[in-house]
Chain A
Protein backbone atom coordinates (compact mmCIF):
# COMPACT_ATOMS: atom_id res chain seq x y z
CA UNK A 1 0.00 0.00 0.00
CA UNK A 2 2.71 2.46 1.08
CA UNK A 3 4.81 2.21 -2.05
CA UNK A 4 2.01 2.49 -4.58
CA UNK A 5 0.49 5.40 -2.67
CA UNK A 6 3.79 7.26 -2.67
CA UNK A 7 4.17 6.71 -6.38
CA UNK A 8 0.63 7.86 -7.14
CA UNK A 9 0.98 10.83 -4.82
CA UNK A 10 4.22 11.90 -6.45
CA UNK A 11 2.71 11.50 -9.93
CA UNK A 12 -0.29 13.59 -8.88
CA UNK A 13 1.98 16.37 -7.60
CA UNK A 14 4.15 16.36 -10.71
CA UNK A 15 1.10 16.39 -12.98
CA UNK A 16 -0.59 19.25 -11.13
CA UNK A 17 2.60 21.26 -10.89
CA UNK A 18 3.15 20.89 -14.62
CA UNK A 19 -0.43 21.80 -15.44
CA UNK A 20 -0.40 24.77 -13.08
CA UNK A 21 2.86 25.96 -14.56
CA UNK A 22 1.49 25.59 -18.07
CA UNK A 23 -1.97 27.09 -17.49
CA UNK A 24 -1.35 29.76 -14.89
CA UNK A 25 2.33 30.61 -14.70
CA UNK A 26 3.22 30.77 -18.41
CA UNK A 27 5.97 28.20 -18.12
CA UNK A 28 7.14 26.50 -21.34
CA UNK A 29 6.43 29.62 -23.41
CA UNK A 30 9.90 30.98 -23.74
CA UNK A 31 11.47 33.72 -21.66
CA UNK A 32 9.80 36.63 -23.42
CA UNK A 33 6.61 36.52 -21.36
CA UNK A 34 8.60 37.64 -18.35
CA UNK A 35 7.14 35.11 -15.95
CA UNK A 36 8.62 34.57 -12.52
CA UNK A 37 10.01 38.08 -12.39
CA UNK A 38 13.37 37.02 -13.75
CA UNK A 39 14.02 40.50 -15.10
CA UNK A 40 14.41 43.45 -12.77
CA UNK A 41 10.78 44.61 -13.08
CA UNK A 42 9.43 46.05 -9.87
CA UNK A 43 5.88 45.61 -8.65
CA UNK A 44 3.31 48.38 -8.28
CA UNK A 45 0.34 47.46 -6.10
CA UNK A 46 -3.19 48.47 -7.01
CA UNK A 47 -6.84 47.55 -6.49
CA UNK A 48 -9.49 47.24 -9.21
CA UNK A 49 -10.93 50.71 -8.54
CA UNK A 50 -10.98 53.79 -10.75
CA UNK A 51 -8.80 55.61 -8.19
CA UNK A 52 -5.94 53.41 -9.45
CA UNK A 53 -6.83 53.48 -13.13
CA UNK A 54 -3.58 55.08 -14.28
CA UNK A 55 -1.62 52.04 -13.07
CA UNK A 56 -3.11 49.58 -15.57
CA UNK A 57 -3.50 52.24 -18.29
CA UNK A 58 0.22 53.08 -18.19
CA UNK A 59 1.09 49.41 -18.28
CA UNK A 60 -1.29 48.62 -21.12
CA UNK A 61 -0.05 51.47 -23.30
CA UNK A 62 3.59 50.57 -22.60
CA UNK A 63 2.96 46.97 -23.57
CA UNK A 64 1.06 47.99 -26.67
CA UNK A 65 3.67 50.47 -27.90
CA UNK A 66 6.97 48.89 -26.84
CA UNK A 67 5.94 45.26 -26.44
CA UNK A 68 6.64 45.17 -22.72
CA UNK A 69 5.85 47.16 -19.60
CA UNK A 70 8.66 48.35 -17.35
CA UNK A 71 6.88 47.48 -14.10
CA UNK A 72 4.65 44.67 -12.91
CA UNK A 73 1.14 45.88 -11.99
CA UNK A 74 0.17 43.73 -8.99
CA UNK A 75 -3.55 43.52 -8.44
CA UNK A 76 -4.87 42.98 -4.92
CA UNK A 77 -8.41 42.38 -3.75
CA UNK A 78 -8.36 44.36 -0.54
CA UNK A 79 -6.49 47.07 1.30
CA UNK A 80 -5.01 44.90 4.07
CA UNK A 81 -3.28 42.50 1.68
CA UNK A 82 -1.93 45.33 -0.48
CA UNK A 83 -0.60 47.16 2.56
CA UNK A 84 1.02 44.02 3.98
CA UNK A 85 2.85 43.33 0.74
CA UNK A 86 3.98 46.97 0.54
CA UNK A 87 5.27 46.81 4.12
CA UNK A 88 6.64 43.30 4.18
CA UNK A 89 8.14 42.81 0.72
CA UNK A 90 9.40 46.23 -0.46
CA UNK A 91 12.02 44.46 -2.58
CA UNK A 92 9.21 42.94 -4.67
CA UNK A 93 6.72 45.81 -4.54
CA UNK A 94 8.35 49.16 -3.68
CA UNK A 95 5.43 51.26 -4.93
CA UNK A 96 1.68 51.12 -4.42
CA UNK A 97 -1.47 53.12 -4.83
CA UNK A 98 -2.82 53.60 -1.32
CA UNK A 99 -5.22 55.82 0.58
CA UNK A 100 -3.72 59.22 1.40
CA UNK A 101 -4.49 59.11 5.15
CA UNK A 102 -3.17 55.56 5.28
CA UNK A 103 0.12 56.68 3.73
CA UNK A 104 0.42 59.44 6.34
CA UNK A 105 -0.53 57.05 9.15
CA UNK A 106 2.12 54.55 8.02
CA UNK A 107 4.68 57.35 7.98
CA UNK A 108 3.62 58.28 11.52
CA UNK A 109 4.18 54.67 12.49
CA UNK A 110 7.73 54.82 11.19
CA UNK A 111 7.38 53.24 7.73
CA UNK A 112 9.88 54.90 5.43
CA UNK A 113 7.73 55.90 2.48
CA UNK A 114 6.97 58.99 0.47
CA UNK A 115 3.93 60.08 -1.46
CA UNK A 116 5.31 61.01 -4.88
CA UNK A 117 2.16 61.69 -6.89
CA UNK A 118 -1.61 61.50 -6.68
CA UNK A 119 -3.60 58.69 -8.21
CA UNK A 120 -6.66 60.69 -9.27
CA UNK A 121 -9.02 63.39 -8.10
CA UNK A 122 -12.68 63.06 -7.09
CA UNK A 123 -14.22 59.71 -8.00
CA UNK A 124 -16.21 59.05 -4.83
CA UNK A 125 -19.89 59.46 -4.04
CA UNK A 126 -22.15 58.99 -1.06
CA UNK A 127 -24.92 56.62 -2.14
CA UNK A 128 -28.22 55.96 -0.45
CA UNK A 129 -31.02 53.58 -1.39
CA UNK A 130 -33.33 55.15 -3.95
CA UNK A 131 -36.37 54.48 -1.73
CA UNK A 132 -34.81 55.96 1.38
CA UNK A 133 -35.88 59.25 2.88
CA UNK A 134 -32.35 60.60 2.94
CA UNK A 135 -32.08 63.76 0.83
CA UNK A 136 -29.67 65.90 2.85
CA UNK A 137 -26.53 65.15 4.82
CA UNK A 138 -28.48 66.03 7.97
CA UNK A 139 -30.91 63.19 7.20
CA UNK A 140 -28.05 60.80 7.97
CA UNK A 141 -28.57 61.35 11.70
CA UNK A 142 -28.95 57.96 13.39
CA UNK A 143 -28.25 56.12 10.14
CA UNK A 144 -25.60 53.50 9.38
CA UNK A 145 -22.93 54.57 6.89
CA UNK A 146 -20.35 52.17 5.42
CA UNK A 147 -16.81 53.44 4.73
CA UNK A 148 -13.88 51.50 3.24
CA UNK A 149 -11.69 51.70 6.34
CA UNK A 150 -10.30 53.76 9.14
CA UNK A 151 -7.71 55.45 6.96
CA UNK A 152 -9.97 56.13 4.01
CA UNK A 153 -10.36 59.71 2.94
CA UNK A 154 -14.03 58.92 2.41
CA UNK A 155 -14.29 58.88 6.17
CA UNK A 156 -12.92 62.41 6.28
CA UNK A 157 -15.24 63.72 3.60
CA UNK A 158 -18.19 62.44 5.66
CA UNK A 159 -16.73 64.08 8.74
CA UNK A 160 -16.37 67.33 6.79
CA UNK A 161 -19.93 67.22 5.48
CA UNK A 162 -21.42 66.26 8.84
CA UNK A 163 -19.60 69.21 10.35
CA UNK A 164 -21.12 71.54 7.76
CA UNK A 165 -24.55 70.15 8.71
CA UNK A 166 -23.85 70.67 12.39
CA UNK A 167 -23.34 66.96 13.12
CA UNK A 168 -20.44 64.77 14.30
CA UNK A 169 -19.47 61.11 13.98
CA UNK A 170 -21.45 60.50 17.18
CA UNK A 171 -24.66 61.27 15.31
CA UNK A 172 -24.26 58.45 12.79
CA UNK A 173 -23.17 54.83 12.95
CA UNK A 174 -20.01 54.21 10.95
CA UNK A 175 -19.13 50.70 9.85
CA UNK A 176 -16.04 49.57 7.94
CA UNK A 177 -16.67 47.37 4.92
CA UNK A 178 -14.65 46.27 1.88
CA UNK A 179 -15.95 48.34 -1.07
CA UNK A 180 -16.86 45.26 -3.21
CA UNK A 181 -19.38 44.25 -0.52
CA UNK A 182 -21.01 47.68 -0.33
CA UNK A 183 -23.48 47.44 -3.24
CA UNK A 184 -25.06 44.26 -1.88
CA UNK A 185 -25.22 45.81 1.59
CA UNK A 186 -27.07 48.84 0.22
CA UNK A 187 -29.36 46.69 -1.89
CA UNK A 188 -30.40 44.58 1.10
CA UNK A 189 -30.60 47.79 3.17
CA UNK A 190 -28.17 46.35 5.70
CA UNK A 191 -26.71 49.86 5.73
CA UNK A 192 -28.38 53.17 4.93
CA UNK A 193 -25.55 54.78 2.99
CA UNK A 194 -22.25 53.73 1.43
CA UNK A 195 -19.19 55.61 0.25
CA UNK A 196 -16.04 54.37 -1.46
CA UNK A 197 -14.08 54.82 -4.64
CA UNK A 198 -15.66 53.93 -7.95
CA UNK A 199 -16.86 51.78 -9.66
CA UNK A 200 -18.74 50.33 -6.69
CA UNK A 201 -20.85 53.44 -6.17
CA UNK A 202 -21.74 53.78 -9.85
CA UNK A 203 -22.72 50.13 -9.85
CA UNK A 204 -25.63 50.76 -7.48
CA UNK A 205 -26.80 53.57 -9.75
CA UNK A 206 -26.42 51.47 -12.87
CA UNK A 207 -28.36 48.60 -11.29
CA UNK A 208 -31.14 50.95 -10.33
CA UNK A 209 -31.26 50.88 -6.52
CA UNK A 210 -28.67 53.51 -5.57
CA UNK A 211 -29.12 57.27 -5.57
CA UNK A 212 -26.32 59.82 -5.31
CA UNK A 213 -26.65 61.96 -2.19
CA UNK A 214 -23.59 63.88 -3.25
CA UNK A 215 -20.54 63.43 -5.45
CA UNK A 216 -17.15 64.13 -3.87
CA UNK A 217 -16.35 66.60 -6.65
CA UNK A 218 -19.35 68.75 -5.69
CA UNK A 219 -18.76 68.97 -1.96
CA UNK A 220 -14.94 68.85 -1.84
CA UNK A 221 -13.62 69.89 -5.27
CA UNK A 222 -10.33 68.21 -6.10
CA UNK A 223 -10.97 65.47 -3.52
CA UNK A 224 -7.98 63.14 -3.15
CA UNK A 225 -8.45 59.59 -2.01
CA UNK A 226 -5.54 57.55 -3.33
CA UNK A 227 -1.90 58.43 -3.87
CA UNK A 228 1.14 56.76 -5.34
CA UNK A 229 3.47 55.94 -2.45
CA UNK A 230 7.04 54.66 -2.85
CA UNK A 231 9.45 53.20 -0.31
CA UNK A 232 12.35 55.51 0.49
CA UNK A 233 14.94 52.82 -0.28
CA UNK A 234 13.61 52.63 -3.82
CA UNK A 235 13.63 56.42 -4.16
CA UNK A 236 17.27 56.46 -3.07
CA UNK A 237 18.50 53.49 -5.10
CA UNK A 238 16.26 53.56 -8.18
CA UNK A 239 15.50 57.20 -8.81
CA UNK A 240 15.43 56.88 -12.58
CA UNK A 241 12.91 54.02 -12.53
CA UNK A 242 10.64 55.83 -10.08
CA UNK A 243 10.78 58.99 -12.21
CA UNK A 244 9.87 56.88 -15.21
CA UNK A 245 6.93 55.42 -13.31
CA UNK A 246 5.67 58.83 -12.16
CA UNK A 247 6.09 60.21 -15.69
CA UNK A 248 4.11 57.26 -17.01
CA UNK A 249 1.29 57.85 -14.50
CA UNK A 250 1.22 61.57 -15.37
CA UNK A 251 1.20 60.94 -19.10
CA UNK A 252 -1.48 58.27 -18.97
CA UNK A 253 -3.60 60.45 -16.67
CA UNK A 254 -3.50 63.21 -19.24
CA UNK A 255 -4.23 60.70 -21.97
CA UNK A 256 -7.37 59.49 -20.13
CA UNK A 257 -8.59 63.06 -19.67
CA UNK A 258 -7.81 64.04 -23.26
CA UNK A 259 -11.06 62.82 -24.77
CA UNK A 260 -14.15 60.77 -24.05
CA UNK A 261 -12.95 58.31 -26.68
CA UNK A 262 -9.81 57.63 -24.64
CA UNK A 263 -11.92 57.16 -21.53
CA UNK A 264 -14.10 54.60 -23.27
CA UNK A 265 -11.04 52.80 -24.65
CA UNK A 266 -9.49 52.72 -21.19
CA UNK A 267 -12.75 51.38 -19.74
CA UNK A 268 -12.67 48.60 -22.29
CA UNK A 269 -9.08 47.38 -21.99
CA UNK A 270 -8.80 47.90 -18.23
CA UNK A 271 -12.10 46.15 -17.48
CA UNK A 272 -11.15 43.18 -19.62
CA UNK A 273 -7.41 42.89 -19.04
CA UNK A 274 -6.88 44.11 -15.48
CA UNK A 275 -10.02 44.56 -13.38
CA UNK A 276 -12.08 41.67 -14.69
CA UNK A 277 -15.23 43.78 -14.48
CA UNK A 278 -18.01 44.49 -16.92
CA UNK A 279 -16.73 47.23 -19.29
CA UNK A 280 -20.19 48.78 -19.15
CA UNK A 281 -19.64 49.60 -15.48
CA UNK A 282 -16.32 51.38 -16.09
CA UNK A 283 -17.76 53.17 -19.12
CA UNK A 284 -20.56 54.42 -16.87
CA UNK A 285 -18.37 55.77 -14.06
CA UNK A 286 -15.87 57.31 -16.48
CA UNK A 287 -18.57 59.23 -18.32
CA UNK A 288 -21.60 59.95 -16.13
CA UNK A 289 -20.79 62.73 -15.51
CA UNK A 290 -17.47 63.09 -17.39
CA UNK A 291 -15.78 64.75 -14.41
CA UNK A 292 -16.92 62.11 -11.90
CA UNK A 293 -13.26 61.12 -11.60
CA UNK A 294 -10.30 62.98 -13.16
CA UNK A 295 -6.64 62.23 -13.71
CA UNK A 296 -4.90 65.45 -14.81
CA UNK A 297 -3.96 67.53 -11.78
CA UNK A 298 -1.94 65.00 -9.86
CA UNK A 299 0.87 67.05 -8.26
CA UNK A 300 0.73 66.70 -4.46
CA UNK A 301 0.14 70.14 -2.94
CA UNK A 302 0.98 71.16 0.59
CA UNK A 303 -2.26 73.00 1.39
CA UNK A 304 -4.41 70.04 0.38
CA UNK A 305 -2.46 67.53 2.42
CA UNK A 306 -2.42 69.81 5.40
CA UNK A 307 -6.19 70.01 5.23
CA UNK A 308 -6.44 66.21 5.09
CA UNK A 309 -4.11 65.99 8.06
CA UNK A 310 -6.01 68.60 10.04
CA UNK A 311 -9.34 66.86 9.45
CA UNK A 312 -7.86 63.45 10.24
CA UNK A 313 -6.43 64.78 13.49
CA UNK A 314 -9.76 66.31 14.44
CA UNK A 315 -11.49 63.04 13.63
CA UNK A 316 -8.95 61.23 15.77
CA UNK A 317 -7.46 59.15 12.95
CA UNK A 318 -3.98 60.65 12.77
CA UNK A 319 -1.67 61.69 15.59
CA UNK A 320 -0.12 64.65 13.78
CA UNK A 321 3.47 63.68 14.47
CA UNK A 322 4.72 64.09 10.89
CA UNK A 323 4.85 67.05 8.54
CA UNK A 324 4.18 67.42 4.79
CA UNK A 325 7.88 67.10 3.92
CA UNK A 326 8.17 63.91 6.00
CA UNK A 327 5.62 62.03 3.93
CA UNK A 328 5.68 63.78 0.54
CA UNK A 329 8.56 63.83 -1.94
CA UNK A 330 7.40 66.11 -4.72
CA UNK A 331 10.73 66.08 -6.54
CA UNK A 332 9.37 63.71 -9.19
CA UNK A 333 6.19 65.66 -9.75
CA UNK A 334 7.55 68.70 -11.60
CA UNK A 335 9.18 66.68 -14.38
CA UNK A 336 6.17 64.36 -14.56
CA UNK A 337 3.69 67.20 -14.72
CA UNK A 338 5.59 68.82 -17.58
CA UNK A 339 5.09 65.69 -19.70
CA UNK A 340 2.53 65.64 -22.45
CA UNK A 341 -0.19 63.02 -22.75
CA UNK A 342 0.83 59.63 -24.11
CA UNK A 343 0.53 59.40 -27.85
CA UNK A 344 -1.64 56.35 -28.28
CA UNK A 345 -4.81 55.31 -30.06
CA UNK A 346 -6.47 51.95 -29.65
CA UNK A 347 -6.58 50.12 -32.96
CA UNK A 348 -10.20 49.53 -33.82
Chain B
Protein backbone atom coordinates (compact mmCIF):
# COMPACT_ATOMS: atom_id res chain seq x y z
CA UNK B 1 0.00 0.00 0.00
CA UNK B 2 1.25 3.46 -0.80
CA UNK B 3 1.66 5.97 1.95
CA UNK B 4 0.48 9.52 1.29
CA UNK B 5 4.09 10.74 1.26
CA UNK B 6 4.95 8.48 -1.62
CA UNK B 7 1.98 9.74 -3.56
CA UNK B 8 4.13 12.45 -5.07
CA UNK B 9 6.58 9.95 -6.41
CA UNK B 10 3.88 7.60 -7.66
CA UNK B 11 3.27 7.11 -11.34
CA UNK B 12 0.13 8.40 -12.98
CA UNK B 13 -1.43 4.94 -12.90
CA UNK B 14 -0.71 4.44 -9.20
CA UNK B 15 -2.00 7.90 -8.42
CA UNK B 16 -5.18 7.12 -10.29
CA UNK B 17 -5.65 3.90 -8.34
CA UNK B 18 -5.58 5.81 -5.08
CA UNK B 19 -7.23 9.08 -6.00
CA UNK B 20 -10.21 7.71 -7.89
CA UNK B 21 -11.48 5.44 -5.08
CA UNK B 22 -10.82 8.23 -2.56
CA UNK B 23 -12.90 10.61 -4.64
CA UNK B 24 -15.76 8.13 -4.97
CA UNK B 25 -15.55 7.46 -1.23
CA UNK B 26 -15.83 11.17 -0.44
CA UNK B 27 -18.81 11.49 -2.76
CA UNK B 28 -20.53 8.50 -1.18
CA UNK B 29 -19.96 9.81 2.35
CA UNK B 30 -21.25 13.27 1.42
CA UNK B 31 -24.29 11.76 -0.26
CA UNK B 32 -24.94 9.58 2.78
CA UNK B 33 -24.64 12.52 5.15
CA UNK B 34 -26.91 14.71 3.01
CA UNK B 35 -29.50 11.94 2.64
CA UNK B 36 -29.72 11.46 6.42
CA UNK B 37 -29.96 15.20 7.02
CA UNK B 38 -32.62 15.69 4.36
CA UNK B 39 -34.76 12.78 5.53
CA UNK B 40 -34.72 14.26 9.04
CA UNK B 41 -34.20 10.78 10.50
CA UNK B 42 -32.63 10.69 13.92
CA UNK B 43 -32.56 6.90 13.83
CA UNK B 44 -30.30 6.26 10.87
CA UNK B 45 -26.79 7.55 11.69
CA UNK B 46 -24.65 9.96 9.70
CA UNK B 47 -21.08 8.93 8.75
CA UNK B 48 -19.71 11.05 11.59
CA UNK B 49 -21.92 9.30 14.15
CA UNK B 50 -20.70 5.96 12.84
CA UNK B 51 -17.13 7.15 13.25
CA UNK B 52 -17.92 8.17 16.85
CA UNK B 53 -19.42 4.73 17.38
CA UNK B 54 -16.22 3.12 16.10
CA UNK B 55 -14.08 5.31 18.36
CA UNK B 56 -16.27 4.40 21.33
CA UNK B 57 -15.87 0.70 20.54
CA UNK B 58 -12.14 1.09 20.21
CA UNK B 59 -11.90 2.97 23.51
CA UNK B 60 -13.85 0.27 25.31
CA UNK B 61 -11.43 -2.28 23.85
CA UNK B 62 -14.27 -4.05 22.08
CA UNK B 63 -13.26 -3.36 18.52
CA UNK B 64 -10.06 -5.40 18.68
CA UNK B 65 -11.78 -8.18 20.62
CA UNK B 66 -14.58 -8.46 18.11
CA UNK B 67 -12.32 -8.32 15.07
CA UNK B 68 -10.13 -11.06 16.54
CA UNK B 69 -13.16 -13.20 17.40
CA UNK B 70 -14.60 -12.94 13.90
CA UNK B 71 -11.23 -13.54 12.22
CA UNK B 72 -10.67 -16.54 14.50
CA UNK B 73 -13.96 -18.15 13.50
CA UNK B 74 -13.61 -17.37 9.82
CA UNK B 75 -9.99 -18.55 9.72
CA UNK B 76 -10.80 -21.88 11.29
CA UNK B 77 -13.99 -22.49 9.32
CA UNK B 78 -12.30 -21.49 6.10
CA UNK B 79 -9.10 -23.48 6.76
CA UNK B 80 -11.12 -26.60 7.46
CA UNK B 81 -13.02 -25.97 4.24
CA UNK B 82 -9.75 -25.74 2.27
CA UNK B 83 -8.26 -28.83 3.91
CA UNK B 84 -11.37 -30.87 3.18
CA UNK B 85 -12.75 -29.16 0.08
CA UNK B 86 -9.65 -29.19 -2.16
CA UNK B 87 -8.83 -32.91 -1.84
CA UNK B 88 -12.49 -33.80 -2.09
CA UNK B 89 -12.88 -31.73 -5.25
CA UNK B 90 -9.72 -33.20 -6.80
CA UNK B 91 -10.86 -36.75 -6.12
CA UNK B 92 -14.33 -36.09 -7.48
CA UNK B 93 -12.90 -34.40 -10.55
CA UNK B 94 -10.58 -37.30 -11.33
CA UNK B 95 -12.59 -40.44 -10.49
CA UNK B 96 -15.79 -40.56 -12.49
CA UNK B 97 -17.61 -43.08 -10.28
CA UNK B 98 -16.95 -40.90 -7.21
CA UNK B 99 -18.28 -37.90 -9.12
CA UNK B 100 -21.39 -39.82 -10.20
CA UNK B 101 -22.00 -40.97 -6.64
CA UNK B 102 -21.44 -37.75 -4.73
CA UNK B 103 -22.02 -34.82 -7.06
CA UNK B 104 -25.84 -34.86 -6.78
CA UNK B 105 -25.56 -34.56 -3.00
CA UNK B 106 -23.06 -31.73 -3.21
CA UNK B 107 -25.40 -29.91 -5.56
CA UNK B 108 -28.32 -30.50 -3.16
CA UNK B 109 -26.40 -29.23 -0.11
CA UNK B 110 -24.72 -26.34 -1.89
CA UNK B 111 -27.69 -23.98 -2.28
CA UNK B 112 -28.83 -24.29 1.34
CA UNK B 113 -28.12 -21.01 3.10
CA UNK B 114 -26.01 -21.13 6.27
CA UNK B 115 -28.90 -19.34 8.01
CA UNK B 116 -31.01 -22.44 7.50
CA UNK B 117 -28.29 -24.46 9.23
CA UNK B 118 -28.36 -22.32 12.39
CA UNK B 119 -30.86 -24.50 14.29
CA UNK B 120 -28.89 -27.61 13.35
CA UNK B 121 -25.63 -25.99 14.40
CA UNK B 122 -27.05 -25.10 17.82
CA UNK B 123 -28.49 -28.59 18.31
CA UNK B 124 -25.20 -30.23 17.38
CA UNK B 125 -22.64 -27.84 18.80
CA UNK B 126 -24.40 -25.65 21.35
CA UNK B 127 -23.47 -22.00 21.41
CA UNK B 128 -19.69 -22.11 21.72
CA UNK B 129 -17.30 -21.16 18.93
CA UNK B 130 -17.74 -24.50 17.20
CA UNK B 131 -21.23 -23.64 15.93
CA UNK B 132 -20.24 -20.50 13.97
CA UNK B 133 -17.08 -22.24 12.73
CA UNK B 134 -19.27 -25.05 11.44
CA UNK B 135 -21.52 -22.57 9.62
CA UNK B 136 -18.58 -20.78 8.03
CA UNK B 137 -17.08 -24.13 7.03
CA UNK B 138 -20.36 -25.14 5.38
CA UNK B 139 -20.62 -21.89 3.48
CA UNK B 140 -17.10 -22.09 2.08
CA UNK B 141 -16.48 -25.81 1.55
CA UNK B 142 -18.83 -26.16 -1.43
CA UNK B 143 -17.40 -23.38 -3.63
CA UNK B 144 -13.91 -24.79 -2.95
CA UNK B 145 -14.88 -28.38 -3.68
CA UNK B 146 -16.81 -27.49 -6.82
CA UNK B 147 -14.05 -25.28 -8.24
CA UNK B 148 -11.40 -27.93 -7.55
CA UNK B 149 -13.62 -30.52 -9.15
CA UNK B 150 -14.21 -28.57 -12.32
CA UNK B 151 -10.56 -27.50 -12.43
CA UNK B 152 -9.56 -31.15 -12.84
CA UNK B 153 -12.41 -31.91 -15.21
CA UNK B 154 -11.65 -28.98 -17.48
CA UNK B 155 -7.91 -29.56 -17.54
CA UNK B 156 -6.44 -29.48 -21.03
CA UNK B 157 -6.01 -33.00 -22.35
CA UNK B 158 -2.63 -32.15 -23.87
CA UNK B 159 -0.98 -31.98 -20.42
CA UNK B 160 -2.28 -35.40 -19.57
CA UNK B 161 -1.25 -36.97 -22.83
CA UNK B 162 2.22 -35.49 -22.62
CA UNK B 163 2.59 -36.74 -19.07
CA UNK B 164 1.41 -40.19 -20.04
CA UNK B 165 3.89 -40.26 -22.92
CA UNK B 166 6.60 -39.65 -20.35
CA UNK B 167 5.26 -42.60 -18.43
CA UNK B 168 3.92 -40.66 -15.46
CA UNK B 169 1.07 -42.26 -13.54
CA UNK B 170 -0.27 -42.56 -10.05
CA UNK B 171 0.80 -40.10 -7.38
CA UNK B 172 3.62 -38.46 -9.40
CA UNK B 173 1.15 -37.73 -12.23
CA UNK B 174 -1.17 -36.17 -9.73
CA UNK B 175 1.46 -34.14 -7.95
CA UNK B 176 3.43 -32.98 -10.97
CA UNK B 177 0.74 -32.47 -13.59
CA UNK B 178 -2.84 -32.52 -12.36
CA UNK B 179 -2.42 -30.38 -9.27
CA UNK B 180 -0.32 -27.67 -10.95
CA UNK B 181 -2.69 -27.59 -13.93
CA UNK B 182 -5.72 -27.20 -11.70
CA UNK B 183 -4.15 -24.72 -9.27
CA UNK B 184 -5.12 -21.41 -10.92
CA UNK B 185 -8.80 -22.36 -10.95
CA UNK B 186 -8.59 -23.77 -7.41
CA UNK B 187 -7.15 -20.47 -6.20
CA UNK B 188 -10.00 -18.59 -7.85
CA UNK B 189 -12.44 -20.88 -6.03
CA UNK B 190 -10.62 -20.28 -2.75
CA UNK B 191 -10.78 -16.54 -3.27
CA UNK B 192 -14.52 -16.66 -3.90
CA UNK B 193 -14.97 -18.96 -0.91
CA UNK B 194 -13.10 -16.61 1.41
CA UNK B 195 -15.49 -13.85 0.38
CA UNK B 196 -18.41 -16.13 1.15
CA UNK B 197 -16.91 -17.20 4.48
CA UNK B 198 -16.53 -13.59 5.56
CA UNK B 199 -19.99 -12.81 4.21
CA UNK B 200 -21.69 -15.30 6.51
CA UNK B 201 -19.93 -14.10 9.66
CA UNK B 202 -22.98 -12.03 10.66
CA UNK B 203 -25.34 -14.96 10.23
CA UNK B 204 -22.93 -17.32 11.98
CA UNK B 205 -22.62 -15.00 14.96
CA UNK B 206 -26.38 -14.70 15.37
CA UNK B 207 -25.92 -17.73 17.57
CA UNK B 208 -25.40 -16.71 21.17
CA UNK B 209 -21.68 -16.15 20.99
CA UNK B 210 -20.74 -13.01 22.87
CA UNK B 211 -18.10 -11.54 20.62
CA UNK B 212 -17.49 -10.84 16.96
CA UNK B 213 -18.45 -8.25 14.37
CA UNK B 214 -21.64 -10.13 13.50
CA UNK B 215 -22.50 -10.23 17.19
CA UNK B 216 -21.80 -6.49 17.37
CA UNK B 217 -24.52 -5.86 14.77
CA UNK B 218 -27.06 -8.12 16.46
CA UNK B 219 -26.18 -6.84 19.92
CA UNK B 220 -26.55 -3.24 18.77
CA UNK B 221 -30.08 -4.02 17.62
CA UNK B 222 -30.81 -5.15 21.17
CA UNK B 223 -29.26 -2.04 22.62
CA UNK B 224 -32.02 0.36 21.68
CA UNK B 225 -31.21 3.19 19.28
CA UNK B 226 -27.64 2.24 18.49
CA UNK B 227 -27.83 2.00 14.72
CA UNK B 228 -24.49 3.81 14.62
CA UNK B 229 -22.97 0.60 15.99
CA UNK B 230 -24.91 -1.51 13.47
CA UNK B 231 -23.42 0.51 10.62
CA UNK B 232 -20.01 0.56 12.36
CA UNK B 233 -20.11 -3.24 12.33
CA UNK B 234 -21.01 -3.24 8.66
CA UNK B 235 -18.19 -0.84 7.83
CA UNK B 236 -15.64 -2.95 9.70
CA UNK B 237 -16.81 -6.12 7.99
CA UNK B 238 -16.49 -4.37 4.65
CA UNK B 239 -12.98 -3.07 5.28
CA UNK B 240 -11.65 -6.34 6.64
CA UNK B 241 -13.26 -8.12 3.69
CA UNK B 242 -11.29 -5.83 1.39
CA UNK B 243 -8.02 -6.58 3.20
CA UNK B 244 -8.67 -10.33 3.12
CA UNK B 245 -9.35 -10.15 -0.60
CA UNK B 246 -6.12 -8.22 -1.20
CA UNK B 247 -4.23 -10.87 0.75
CA UNK B 248 -5.72 -13.74 -1.21
CA UNK B 249 -5.04 -11.92 -4.46
CA UNK B 250 -1.37 -12.14 -3.60
CA UNK B 251 -1.71 -15.89 -4.07
CA UNK B 252 -2.41 -15.22 -7.72
CA UNK B 253 1.03 -13.61 -8.03
CA UNK B 254 2.88 -16.87 -7.41
CA UNK B 255 4.44 -18.33 -10.55
CA UNK B 256 2.65 -21.62 -9.98
CA UNK B 257 -0.64 -19.83 -10.42
CA UNK B 258 0.06 -16.81 -12.55
CA UNK B 259 0.47 -18.72 -15.79
CA UNK B 260 -3.19 -19.71 -15.63
CA UNK B 261 -4.56 -16.19 -15.82
CA UNK B 262 -5.04 -14.04 -18.86
CA UNK B 263 -2.61 -11.19 -19.44
CA UNK B 264 -4.98 -8.22 -19.43
Contacts and interface: CB of A to CB of B under 8 A. Distances in A.
Nearest to B227: A184
Interface stretch (B23-31, B62-70, B141-149, B231-239): B62-70
Contact of B224 (A1, A178, A199): A199
A20 B222 contact: no
Given A13-B76, A92-B126, A23 B68 contact: yes
A92 B128 CA distance: 11
Contacts of B224: 183, 199-200, 203, 277-278, 281
Interface string B118-149: 11001110110100000000000000000000
Contacts of A17: 72, 76
A77 B75 contact: no
Interface string B218-229: 110111111100
Contacts of B211: 23-24
B126 A89 contact: yes
A9 B58 CA distance: 27
Contacts of A169: none
Contacts of B71: 16
Interface stretch (A79-87, A139-147, A225-233): A79-87
A23 B208 contact: no
Given A24-B65, A74-B127, A12 B219 contact: no
Contacts of A69: none
Contacts of A16: 68, 71-72, 75
A42 to B, nearest CB: 13
Determine the main DSSP class of A at the interface with B: helix
Determine the main DSSP class of B at the interface with A: helix
B134 to A, nearest CB: 14
Interface in A48-92: 48, 74-78, 80-82, 84-85, 87-89, 92
Nearest to B122: A84
A315 interface: no
Nearest to B69: A24
Interface in A12-32: 12-13, 16-17, 19-20, 23-24
Nearest to A24: B211
B103 interface: no
Nearest to A87: B123
A183 B123 contact: no
Contacts of A84: 118-119, 122-123
B54 interface: no
Interface string B180-221: 000000000000000000000000001110110000001101
Interface of A: 1, 5, 9, 12-13, 16-17, 19-20, 23-24, 48, 74-78, 80-82, 84-85, 87-89, 92, 178, 180-181, 183-184, 187-188, 199-200, 203, 207, 275-278, 281
Interface of B: 42-43, 64-65, 68-69, 71-72, 75-76, 79, 118-119, 122-124, 126-127, 129, 206-208, 210-211, 218-219, 221-227, 251, 254-257
6 closest cross-chain pairs (CB), A and B: A88-B123, A20-B72, A180-B221, A84-B122, A24-B211, A76-B208
